[in-house]
């Protein structure tokens, strides 16, 4: 069971990472500025590249989409692949999946790709290397997520149980 969940968590992380990377590549760095450190956001606003309102609008558009993909992908693995339709199975498996992706996101997407790729450098911020290399900015959400993901896992547990009523 542990090995199976580990493999599924890796698959979930890779699937969600693929979604994230496709979205990022399609939209480009400017539309992802709401994910950047505040100093880079501030510089981009000062340069007239974006506005705080545009960043907020992009966040409001992308975050619900990401939430929907996270929810559907976890429910497919939990209910369709694992045939688990209880609250506790849905809650703990989704908690594992969400944290596995969060770890992958912090370690690979953010620490390796974002911090060390020219793709993410906003024109006019090239001199802000120390801000781009602020690893702690990317790891704080991972550690906070260990607790903050619990309500989402509870929701997935409830949805898993609800699905169980209909299958």
CB of 148 within 8 A of CB of 95?
no
Q: What is the chain's mean pLDDT, rounded?
A: 95
Domain of residue 98: give its range.
2-166
Q: Alpha-carbon distance 13 to 98, whole Å?
A: 8
Q: Quick one: DSSP state of residue 48?
A: T
Over range 7-35, report the average pLDDT. Answer: 92
CA 117-120-125 angle, 5° bins? 105
Please give the pLDDT value at position 156. Answer: 98
pLDDT for res 20 = 87
Which contacts (CB < 8 Å, 24+ apart) does range 31-35 have?
31/58, 31/62, 32/58, 32/62, 32/120, 33/58, 33/122, 34/58, 34/59, 34/62
Q: State the pLDDT at residue 110.
A: 94
Dump pLDDT digits (tens) for 50-86: 999 999 999 999 999 999 999 999 999 999 999 999 9
For the chain, how many structural domains are there in total?
Answer: 1
27-31, 91-95, 153-157: the lowest-pLDDT one:
27-31
- The pTM of the full predicted model, rounded to 2 decimals, is 0.90
3-state secondary structure 111-163: HHHHHHCHHHCCCCCCCCHHHHCCHHHHHHHHHHHHHHCHHHHHHHHHHHHHH
Helices (H), 29-134: 38-46, 52-75, 87-104, 115-116, 129-132
């Amino acid at each position: 069971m542990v090995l199976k969940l580990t493999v599924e968590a890796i698959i979930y992380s890779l699937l969600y990472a693929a979604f994230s990377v496709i979205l990022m590549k399609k939209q480009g760095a400017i539309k992802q500025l709401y994910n950047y450190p505040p100093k880079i956001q501030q510089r981009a606003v000062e340069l007239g590249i974006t506005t705080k309102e545009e960043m907020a609008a992009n966040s409001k558009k992308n975050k619900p989409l990401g939430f929907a993909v996270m929810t559907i992908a976890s429910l497919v693995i939990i209910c369709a692949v694992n045939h688990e339709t209880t609250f506790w199975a849905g809650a703990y498996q989704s908690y594992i999946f969400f944290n596995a992706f969060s770890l992958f996101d912090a370690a690979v997407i953010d620490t390796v790709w974002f911090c060390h790729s020219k793709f993410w450098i906003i024109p006019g911020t090239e001199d802000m290397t120390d801000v781009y290399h602020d690893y702690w900015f990317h790891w704080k959400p991972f550690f906070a997520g260990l607790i903050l993901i619990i309500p989402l896992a509870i929701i997935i547990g409830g949805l898993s149980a609800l699905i169980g009523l209909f299958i």
